Amino acid sequence: MSEIGPCDWCEEVLQPYLDRELSATEVAEVEHHLAACRWCEKRFKFETDLRRLVRQAVIEPMDAALKAKLAALRLEL
Ligand SMILES: [Zn+2]
């Protein structure tokens, strides 16, 4: 398990794993694999970060600068 490259198995289980759709046994299997496979570990980290960013974008759709700009526009109306 030292080679670094696309891992078909990980592509298959990564999404259901992140969506918490796997059984406890499967989760343990994924975590065991993540610890051994550097490719999947990286892939997993990337997906986790991506999901966090997407969630943040949903919660905070506008950044502060844009909000200020919009507030200024509203005052001019
Ligand atoms: Zn892998």
> Per-residue pLDDT tens for 8-54?
878 888 889 989 999 999 999 999 999 998 888 988 899 888 888 88
CA of 38 to the centre of ligand 1 (A): 7
Name the residues around ion ligand 1, CB cutoff 5 A.
7, 10, 37, 40
pLDDT score of 22:
93
Mean pLDDT value of segment 47-73: 79
**CA 59 to ligand 1 center in whole angstroms:** 32
| pLDDT at residue 2, rounded to an integer | 46
Instruction: Please state the domain extents for the chain.
Output: 8-76
Q: In a 3-state reduction of DSSP, which class is residue 4?
A: coil
Structure-model confidence comparison of residues 61 and 70, the more confident one: 70
d(CA 30, CA 36): 10
What is the distance in angstroms between the CA of the first residue and the CA of the last residue of the chain? 63
